[in-house]
A = this chain, B = another copy of it.
Amino acid sequence: MLRKPKSKRRSGCPVSVSLEMIGDRWSLLIVRDLMVRGYRTFKEFEESGEGVATNILSERLHKLKSTGIIATGVDASDGRKVNYRLTQKGIDLAPALLELLIWGARHEKTEASCAAIAKMTQHREALLNEVRARWKNNDPRPLQVNGHWVWP
């Protein structure tokens, strides 16, 4: 009479459910790297400047995969490399990530310039469309808009 452990949720609130998937200090940084920096490999995430430990990075990548936020594939031209990419569910985090960025930039001292923040706030939809377009085209270039760096 064994029953499944059935990973229990704290509640049915969407915010709570979201936080159970990405509510930690690393997951969204990986999503950011994939979404706007064009990073694709373990090594790139590792060297992204935030200082993740490799075991934590590995665990987060697995969790993001198991929750359907990212997907993986072995690199065609280098069998050692694993290429990570955002799924639809993953790219759908773009609005939340952008709002988090705007909030942080507005209330703390960060690398983002005031001009960049103003631009992001004013052209929110255009920026999101750009992010989505690059994702669709599998465009690995870091995000720019009108030839300017928009992302810190």
Which A residues form the contact surface with B (CB < 8 A)? 10-21, 23-26, 28-29, 32, 49-51, 68, 89, 92-93, 95-112, 152
What copy number does this chain have within its complex? 2
Q: How many Å from the CB of A82 to the closest CB on chain B?
A: 23
A-side interface mostly: helix
Given the complex, which residues of B lie within 8 Å of A95, measured CB to CB? 99, 102-103
Q: Are B18 and A103 in contact (CB under 8 A)?
A: yes
Q: List 23 A-B contacts (CB under 8 A).
A: A10-B50, A11-B111, A12-B110, A13-B32, A13-B111, A14-B100, A14-B102, A14-B103, A14-B104, A14-B108, A14-B152, A15-B29, A15-B101, A16-B50, A18-B104, A19-B25, A20-B25, A23-B24, A92-B106, A92-B107, A95-B103, A96-B103, A99-B99
